[in-house]
Amino acid sequence: MNSKSLPTILAVDDSVSMQQLIEKSLKDRYRVLLAGSTVEALGKLYHEPVELMLLDVSMPGVDGLEFCRIVRRSPNLKDLPVVMLTARDSVHDKIEGRLAGATEYLTKPFDAAELLQVIDKILNKKVQPK
């Protein structure tokens, strides 16, 4: 199958090893775009059709929580599903993620099967007729 015909996921994480792990976990079912910063991610969001974004919270500059708020305020991106994928795992962190607009909140280290299940559930829900 041509990768352009697969649903596109943007993974935003400043760790190259985490980007590679995410790509390896998803590449058989999804087209995976990678961004190492929120600035780079914003550029990709405006130039590529993205169905879902995986977003780390802890990043230099604009962190994932603030970036999620920016995405939610953007008319073109406000409905984009955002899955926080982060090492921050306290109840407070999860509530903060939801308040910022995250669709789902998963913690690292992540289980590849669980990540795929969450993404599939979100994207399948999105294409269901209303």
Nearest to 10 by CA among 74, 75, 68: 68
- Cα→Cα distances 128→11, 32, 85, Å: 24, 23, 25
Q: Is the peptide bond before 109 cis (omega within 30 degrees of 0)?
A: yes
pTM score of the predicted model: 0.91
Q: Is 57 exposed, middle or buried (0-12, 13-18, 19+ CB in 10 A)?
A: buried
Q: How many domains does the chain have?
A: 1
DSSP H or E segment with residue 2: none
pLDDT tens series, the chain, 130 aa? 556 689 999 999 999 999 999 999 999 999 999 999 999 999 999 999 999 999 999 988 899 999 999 999 999 999 999 999 988 888 998 999 999 999 999 989 889 999 999 999 999 876 544 4
pLDDT at 51: 97
Give the CATH number, domain containing residue 32.
Answer: 3.40.50.2300
Rounded CA gap, 17 and 13, in Å?
A: 9
Q: To 5 degrees, how large is the angle CA 101–CA 102–CA 108?
A: 150
| Host domain of residue 80 | 3-127
Rounded CA gap, 43 and 35, in Å?
A: 9
Where do we find the tokens 């590529």? 48
The secondary structure of residue 106, as a DSSP letter, is E
pLDDT at 129: 47
